[in-house]
Structure 1
């Protein structure tokens, strides 16, 4: 029996990896403009981190985590998301004491969730995320949203929709929580077992239920907007004002609650309205999580962030027929005819590569016609042809594949001439 790839994973092959690299580089470039620095955390952490950081009432913790006991008897989990690990590192390394505040971080790497695989959704997926820790200024909320929108727009997406909501502070959340319990309690038996267990623990999570989303009580549930105190209203008003100031359109959705327990105040999602993208339209989600650092035994530190799957981003690009400007052309292909010429091109190839050029030669002892076809497949900008006779005469033929122009260059000055030609 042949060994196949595990369900819910994928091989990313040459031809596709270049697209990933382009997206990753673009995200890093934009983060640099906003002064966010990269952090790299372990792929696995102690399970307790996610129980405390993500929340034991979430689907991630209850149903989706890859957890195991290691040989030392420790409970370990493959990370299902990046915020908890980033905050753990922030606390452990006392980054709250750094002179530059807020601390602005981004991460990129594989995450693991045991979900039902579907288009653009895998059990191992690559997540890009941003966290800003240390500021209560609503302007940082607008900045984080702006950063996410910039990545999508600069990659070429146009059919985007930003949806925002306020989950309020602790006082507002408590008032809304009590109202939700009163609303759902009389008929909670009509809801799924997950919603029944959430009623007392975290009733806001009922609003995020995929099973009972069409239940009539969902449409009449108390809105968090109606329970915001003056401070929370003012905060949300400022976030909306700043988004308007920087030219970002948005819609307010009172039912947007997000799926993790640590959110408060600003919550947002960026969605794709592209035709054919799929039933699940969310590309990116995030929000403010004041209180999470304290949950990780750190000092009182506000925070806000977002995360998105690169797989989902690629699906959105495909739905909008966006072709990434991935340059797969090489600078030069060496065609050799004769044993002495072949031997010489080994050293010449190395010199070209050492000088910074992307270069290739034939390794299959093919005829000249087949070597030129190979150069075409590599989209070579130039082809240099060297035979045993030319080698003896200290010359090499250089052909431009763009205009067909051809010239003979002294072999001992070829590298210098090619460098000049390429400048």
Structure 2
């Protein structure tokens, strides 16, 4: 139907969009203070980027991507996540030739064909943070602390930070072999996708959403038990830095992120009480991704936070959002002569930096005043033939009902003065 939006999408309407604007404002300030620059990548990319970057055995690539052929026959995919696209931009624009590390952030829509539920949509929005060019474990801790700092600034409480190390190409083969032995004895309990993953990437079985696979994975070998010395030292250093920063965490040896590119540190932030899908963000290291995408051996780390889930958690925890800004003044007109002048006057007020509007439905003066009340406007400037003849406007304070005449050439100055007094 033409009047029904596609399943898994949402309209963000006036009254709600102001919450998004507030969240985005806090995000931009946070990123500036942490030294990040914004990057904007295309909504769609070549499918191969996600197949190679995210991983062919992941649920995202196998089940969830929106992929199509364009008119040139090229396979194109709406971005299901942002990191691979940032790495592609890093390489294509030779950002590796500049000062390192490169600290980038982005916000915007992502697309996954998933089962819609509370806080989970097929078109959803993320804040992503990526740092390329440093392997320092202090950076891991700073990135984790940055995510928790955002939640604190937004007033969220009772969040759980889960952290793990998923190893590196040196220690993964041992874990891979152990997992294969473990799951071969449970092959009949796995879903078809996980049976296929057993030989190619058994670690992905631990990330399967099927309940039978989760049950079959209980007691499986963990990455923490098979870390090489380098990965073990790195993880302990990350935990030490988190301790120094006062960031509380839980070491979760069962934590596996849903993308193949993760190495070393992996983390997830949990908010209880928002539904079955209670993760509101996470991330980790991806030291091999730049090289996998055809670039040099450049380490990276980042996170992605779901904006819908953040807003859902804020609402469920009773966080009070700032009141959205209203019009500074509404211009009401008493007759036809004043209506013609009103358009010019409203535009002058806007050029003075004031938020101003007027009636466009030909309402009576009484109806205009009632409409201004519904808009919760603090000041109404009333203009009629008598006011025009004397070069004045009647300015009414809607809260007190007090009304006085103000010269037209001083109207903007008077409104600004009264608005500043209200803010004080």
Shorter-chain TM-score category?
over 0.9
2:327 counterpart (321, 326, 330): 330
Q: 1:370 aligns with which of 362, 367, 372?
A: 367
Please tell me whether the aligned partners of residues 190 and 213 of structure 2 are also in contact (alpha carbons under 8 angstroms): no
Q: Distance in 2 between matches of 1:349 and 1:213?
A: 65
**Equivalent runs, 1:52-201 vs 2, <5 Å:** 52-99=52-99, 101-201=100-200
Distance 1:195-1:351 versus aligned 2 partners, 3 A rule: same
Q: 2:49 aligns to what? A: 49
Quick one: distance in 2 between partners of 1:288 and 1:52? Answer: 17
**Is residue 2:385 matched to residue 1:388?**
yes
> Could you tell me the TM-score, scaled by structure 1's length?
0.95
Distance in 2, matches of 1:58 and 1:20, equals 30
Alignment CA distance shift 1:214-1:294 (3 Å):
closer
Please give the alpha-carbon distance, in whole angstroms, between the structure 2 residues aligned to 1:195 and 1:392.
82
Aligned to 2:23: 23
1:278 has 2:275 as partner: yes
Partner of 1:228: 227
Tell me how far apart the structure 1 counterparts of residues 90 and 289 of structure 2 sit (CA, whole Å): 11
Deviation string 1:23-61 (CA, Å, 9 cap, x unpaired) is 112111111111111111111111111110000000110
For 2:14, the equivalent position in structure 1 comes to: 14
Tell me the CA shift for residue 381 of structure 1: 2.1
Alignment of 1:239-254 (within 5 A): 239-254=238-253
TM-aligned CA deviation for residue 3 of structure 1: 4.5
Contact 2:270 2:279 in 1 (8 A): yes
Contact 2:242 2:248 in 1 (8 A): yes
- Structure 2's unaligned 5+ residue stretches are none
**Counterpart of 1:90 in 2: which secondary structure?**
helix
Alpha carbons 1:167, 1:267 under 8 Å: kept: yes
Note the C-alpha offset of 1:215: 5.7
SS at match of 1:219: coil
Match of 1:309 in 2: 306
1:97-150 superposed Cα distances (whole Å, 9 cap, x missing partner): 112x11011111111111111122111111221110000001111111122112
Does structure 1 conserve the Cα–Cα contact (< 8 Å) formed by 2:287 and 2:300? yes
Q: Which runs of 5+ in 1 are unaligned?
A: none
Q: Is the 8 A contact 1:328 1:378 kept in 2?
A: no
Secondary structure of the corresponding residue to residue 171 of structure 2: helix
- Report how far residue 159 of structure 1 moved: 2.5
Whole-angstrom distance in 2 between the partners of 1:217 and 1:415: 70
The alignment partner of 1:268 has SS state of strand
Task: Give TM-score, length-normalised by structure 2.
Answer: 0.95
Residues 337-348 of structure 1 correspond to what in structure 2 (within 5 A)? 337-348=334-345
Q: Secondary structure at the match of 1:127?
A: strand
Q: CA deviation at 1:189?
A: 2.4
TM-superposed CA distance for 1:386, in Å, is: 1.8
Aligned length in residues = 420
